Amino acid sequence: MATHLVTGVAGFIGSHLAEALLQRGDRVIGVDRFNNYYDPNLKWKNIATLKQNSDFTLIEADIQGLNWSQLLEGIEVVYHQAAQAGVRASWGEGFRHYTERNINATQIMLEAAKEMKSLKRFVFASTSSVYGNAETMPTPETVCPQPVSPYGITKLAAERLCWLYYHNFGVPVTALRYFTVYGPRQRPDMAFHKFFKAAIAQSPISIYGDGQQTRDFTFVSDAVAANLAAGEVPAAVGEIFNIGGGSRVVLTDVLAKMEEIMGRSIIKEYIERAMGDARHTSADVSKARKILGYNPQVELAEGLAREWEWIRGLYE
């Protein structure tokens, strides 16, 4: 039975990933600080079933306060999902949380990882935000990153740290650049969660700009499958992979689909474009298909319906 470590285990993707590892028969050590970026009660709900599993151990702590040399003993794969998320909140005074939690925390873990003989993989959760307004659509991993938000800058810096530790010390890193992940347990500051919640309350939603921006949406179970593959496939070491849902969709079309699923209308309020938001995102996932065997399974309509069911259970 292999033992894996998941940071940000009580978060959106981390909790799903830990669940999948346990279902597979692995042991999981989960680390989370339960900070107040959003309601910690939601995070405790995310891991309610995990806590009932005897193969799951929870460490409630700040990454920077832990003894990583001790913690990584015997760990085969680290899935580093913890981060200070959110593009819009990364401007201004909040920026130091991003440097601390995205860059410094990652460096501390990599520093300990370089001494670990048991470690087969260090999977780093990166983001499509590193591309900014990419020149090529769909965007391959070879495009030069040009982040347009402080958040994107910190995630790119952490990603580059991974390569330094790979090239200099042989830490077996892999980075996954997620393109807008959605589904049950999605963070409340993310668009679909906000839109569904607003529809229940019959309150207006804010749409930044003209609503014609496009996104590549990835269902959470597909993001989890990518992590599992990245943790196992030998050829993944030292590589970056785009993880997208396989189709690029206009925001106004997504809203129409949501209205159809809910059987109720969304009150829209158009406001000015947000600083740091990329206009379009689209993942070229051919590299992930080829090396990881990645093949997104969940279409947007099905994924939205699943998230809606979860949101109703939360708020209705």
How do residues 199-233 score in pLDDT, each as one tens digit? 999 999 999 999 999 999 999 999 999 999 999 99
CA dihedral in degrees (174, 107, 87, 212; nearest 10)?
A: -20
- pLDDT value for 4: 98
Q: Is 183 left (phi over 0), alpha (psi -120 to 50) or beta?
A: left
**What confidence category does residue 282 fall into, taking pLDDT thresholds of 50, 70 and 90?**
very high
| Two tokens, residue 197 | 């919640």
Please say if the pLDDT value at position 274 is more than 90: no
Report the mean per-residue pLDDT for the chain: 97
Q: Which residue has the higher pLDDT, 275 or 101?
A: 101
Whether the per-residue pLDDT at 246 is higher than 90: the answer is no
CA angle 200, 201, 206 (to 5 degrees): 95
Please return the burial class of 263, using the count of CB atoms within 10 Å of its CB with bins 0-12, 13-18 and 19+: exposed
Token couple for 286: 């051919």
pLDDT reported for residue 247? 83
State whether residue 91 is helix, strand or coil: coil
* pTM given for the model: 0.98
Catalytic residues: 151
- What per-residue confidence (pLDDT) applies to 127? 98
> Residue 106 pLDDT more than 90?
yes
- The confidence band for 305, taking pLDDT boundaries of 50, 70 and 90, is very high
Task: Check pLDDT > 90 for residue 104.
Answer: yes
> Which of 57-61, 149-153, 228-232, 276-280 is the least confident region?
276-280
Average pLDDT over residues 244-267: 95
Give the rounded percent of residues in the chain with a pLDDT score beyond 90: 97
Please give the DSSP secondary-structure letter assigned to residue 100. Answer: I
CATH of domain 3-182+218-244+277-297: 3.40.50.720
Q: Where is average pLDDT lowest: 36-40, 165-169, 274-278?
A: 274-278
Q: Helix axis angle, 300-315 relative to 251-262, nearest 10°?
A: 60
Task: Measure the CA angle with vertex 66, ends 62 and 67; round to 5°.
Answer: 170
Maximum Cα–Cα distance across the chain: 56
- 313 with 306: CB under 8 angstroms? no
* SS3 assignment, position 186: coil
Categorize the per-residue pLDDT at 278 as very low, low, confident or very high, splitting at 50, 70 and 90. Answer: very high
Residues 6+ apart with CB under 8 A from 23: none
Q: In b/e form, how buried is each residue of 84-109, taking b as 16+ CB within 10 angstroms?
A: bbbbebbeeeebebbbebbbebbbeb
* Whole-number pLDDT of residue 224: 98
Lowest mean pLDDT among 108-112, 134-138, 159-163: 134-138
The answer to whether residue 251 scores a pLDDT higher than 90 is yes
pLDDT at residue 259 is higher than 90:
yes
